[in-house]
Amino acid sequence: MRSTTEIAGRPSWEAYFMSIARLVAERSTCLRRKVGALLVKDKRILATGYNGAPSGLRHCLEIGCLRERLAIPSGQRHELCRGLHAEQNLIIQAAYHGIGIAGATLFCTHFPCVICTKMLINAGVVEVFYLEGYPDELSREMLEEAGVRVMRFKG
């Protein structure tokens, strides 16, 4: 049996899911960084998420960025933001709709922060594919300690 990468023009499963994560990021309302994420299990998408304000609240696109006004550097003081991270939103969406995510793989446009990492570990996520880095060494250490497989996607 041929793998999908051997069929001319057909993307691998990883490339396919990462392209969807990129598309999901386009829904982001963050002024600093557009992040998209999805959870996949058995080649099925379980949930998607992007970063933005909670449902029904005004977005940073509308009212400006609190973190910019306060000159907060990237990777610090996450609580001083109107938005939820993409990973938080997809875990919430799965819970809201009663979808179990234990054993799933995360495809995300950015490496998760430590807050999202702790949530992903406790939710039972077993793999993380990401496109871009993020300045959070503790996150990387915790994923390794938890035995979560982490791979930077290059495609």
Ramachandran category for residue 136: left, alpha or beta (phi over 0 → left; psi -120 to 50 → alpha): beta
Q: Pick from 89, 152, 99: which is nearest to 124 by CA? A: 99
**Cα–Cα distances in Å, from 135 out to 13, 73, 109, 114, 149?**
27, 10, 14, 10, 19
Alpha-carbon Rg for the chain in angstroms: 16
What gap in Å lies between CA 91 and CA 100, rounded to an integer? 9
Q: Pick from 74, 83, 71: which is nearest to 28 by CA? A: 83
What residues are annotated to the active site?
A: 87
59 assigned to a ligand binding site: no
113 assigned to a ligand binding site: yes
Where is the binding site, in residues? 85, 113, 116
Where is the binding site for Zn(2+), in residues? 85, 113, 116
